[in-house]
Amino acid sequence: MPPAPGDREARRQDVSEAVWRVLADKGFGGLTLRAVAAAMGVSTGMLMHYFPTKRALVAHALDLLERRTAERPRRARPAEGLAALRAMLLDILPLTADDTARNRIWVSSWDLALADESLGRDQADRYTRLRSAIRPHLEAARDHGELPATADPDQLAATAVAFTHGLVVQALFDPARFPPDAQTALLDTFLASIAGPASPSG
Amino acid sequence: MPPAPGDREARRQDVSEAVWRVLADKGFGGLTLRAVAAAMGVSTGMLMHYFPTKRALVAHALDLLERRTAERPRRARPAEGLAALRAMLLDILPLTADDTARNRIWVSSWDLALADESLGRDQADRYTRLRSAIRPHLEAARDHGELPATADPDQLAATAVAFTHGLVVQALFDPARFPPDAQTALLDTFLASIAGPASPSG
């Protein structure tokens, strides 16, 4: 008898959870049908029912990463300006165990994406979208005098993304040197430095 | 008859060159004996003379990455201060094809290093050394009035590394958006922002 639809959905969730655990532990470099099967305590044959190929497994893993990133809990977002940007960037940094796992998997995905034209384009587009989402906050900050009138929102958006992702990588490798409060302090100093002397809070 | 020592050395160079090409193209995720053998036009069996295991191949690849990074050509380095820091960070960014290949391989190595305790510690130590190499320039910059007297060299070293590596990643994925002059302009704006109003050149 085929499993009831509810069972099937529950099993799908189990599979995704196991894929996530393998990714968080070993990255895409360690993502194999065998590793996921072992994490679930099932046979590789059973798992091939879900993922007939390694490619299908990787595609599921990338979807899962996108979905969990989109659905992650986020801070209340101040309407605009540097406070909104600060909340956005705090939502990216590895400040909790879940954030750390997600970031670790993103960094791992870069190896894959740099080797594959289509995935590389996806990642370039993701960066473009992230900079575009940041830009209006920088424009508002400039218009409200939180940034110098000469500030270039395009440049600053790229700089803010660079700072944040570079901090992610350092923190992943050295969590003792970069606990959450150290990351937050670095972000605040960074924001103060781009605000410069024109900042009302500076 | 065994090959003459000179031949052996030449062959070793060929092997390293092929390993590098595979890494630059496919990253550590695509580094296999088969891929390196194909890049050299030899049999996998011949290559196993050099690398009896995948592990030996990866160890050689990591050594090669360290060595090529240490031996890369560098800019004339101004003695100290922000000008010295600028030269150091320009030497990291992917401004040429060789720099791009090397950075691409470093980013790829992060997936490997995050999955392996010993390699992860090596990478954390590498970051500590990089921040320590940057720090004296920031102290000199502060002492000479290029940075505000309140500047914290430890924090700024972490921030400068974060900015630089985060820019590396964005530029690798989107070289059209981040050609060399755009990367250099971003670096200069970043350095001006940490210098703040106390900078003689600001």
Domain finish residue from B42, B69, B96: B69
Instruction: Residue B61: list chain A partners with CB under 8 A.
Output: none
Select the residue of A26, A165, A178 nearest B166 (Cβ to Cβ). A165
User: pLDDT for B108-118, tens place per residue?
Assistant: 999 999 999 99
- Do both B129 and B158 map to the same domain? yes
CA distances from B88 to A70, A164, B181 (A): 37, 20, 16
Q: How many CB atoms lie within 10 A of CB A122?
A: 16
- Do both A28 and A106 map to the same domain? no
Instruction: Residue B104: list chain A partners with CB under 8 A.
Output: 114
Domain finish residue from B28, B45, B69: B69
CATH number at residue B24: 1.10.10.60
Q: State the pLDDT at residue B79.
A: 78
Q: State the pLDDT at residue A196.
A: 80
- Do both A10 and A44 map to the same domain? yes
Select the residue of A29, A166, A178 nearest B165 (Cβ to Cβ). A166
3-state secondary structure A94-157: CCCHHHHHHHHHHHHHHHHHHCCHHHHHHHHHHHHHHHHHHHHHHHHHHHCCCCCCCCCHHHHH
User: Which residue in chain B has the smallest CA separation from A131?
Assistant: B170
Tell me the average pLDDT of chain B. Answer: 93
Size of interface A-B (CB pairs under 8 A): 149
- Do both B149 and B111 map to the same domain? yes
End-to-end CA distance of chain B: 68
pLDDT level of residue B168 (50, 70, 90 thresholds): very high
> Is residue B2 predicted with pLDDT exceeding 90?
no
- Do both A97 and A58 map to the same domain? no
> Is residue A151 predicted with pLDDT exceeding 90?
yes
- Do both A94 and A49 map to the same domain? no
Q: State the pLDDT at residue A199.
A: 42
Do A159 and B194 form a contact (C-beta atoms < 8 A)? Answer: no
- Do both B53 and B139 map to the same domain? no
- Do both A31 and A81 map to the same domain? no
- Do both B159 and B190 map to the same domain? yes
CATH number at residue B114: 1.10.357.10
What total number of domains does chain B contain? 2
Q: Which domain holds residue B187?
A: 75-198
Q: State the pLDDT at residue A80.
A: 84
d(CA A13, CA A26): 20
- Do both A65 and A86 map to the same domain? no
Select the residue of B27, B104, B163 nearest A166 (Cβ to Cβ). B163
- Do both A112 and A153 map to the same domain? yes
Output the DSSP codes for B37-106: HHHHTS-HHHHTTT-SSHHHHHHHHHHHHHHHHHTS------SSHHHHHHHHHHTTS--SHHHHHHHHHH
Inter-chain contact B197–A193, Cβ cutoff 8 Å? no
User: Which residue in chain A has the smallest CA separation from B163?
Assistant: A163
> Is residue B68 predicted with pLDDT exceeding 70?
yes
d(CA B77, CA B87): 6
Inter-chain contact B114–A107, Cβ cutoff 8 Å? yes
Do A87 and B2 form a contact (C-beta atoms < 8 A)? Answer: no
- Where is average pLDDT lowest: A10-14, B15-19, B150-154? A10-14
In the numeric block, which tokens belong to residue B142?
Answer: 């502060």
Instruction: Residue A116: list chain B partners with CB under 8 A.
Output: none
Nearest to B194 by CA among B144, B153, B140, B134: B153
- Do both B61 and B157 map to the same domain? no
> Is residue A15 predicted with pLDDT exceeding 90?
yes
Counting Cα atoms < 13 Å in the Cβ hemisphere of B1 gives 4
> Is residue A200 predicted with pLDDT exceeding 60?
no
Q: How many CB atoms lie within 10 A of CB A138?
A: 27
Do A23 and A61 form a contact (C-beta atoms < 8 A)? Answer: yes
User: pLDDT for A155-166, tens place per residue?
Assistant: 999 999 999 999
Do B114 and B190 form a contact (C-beta atoms < 8 A)? Answer: no
Domain finish residue from A39, A69, A99: A69
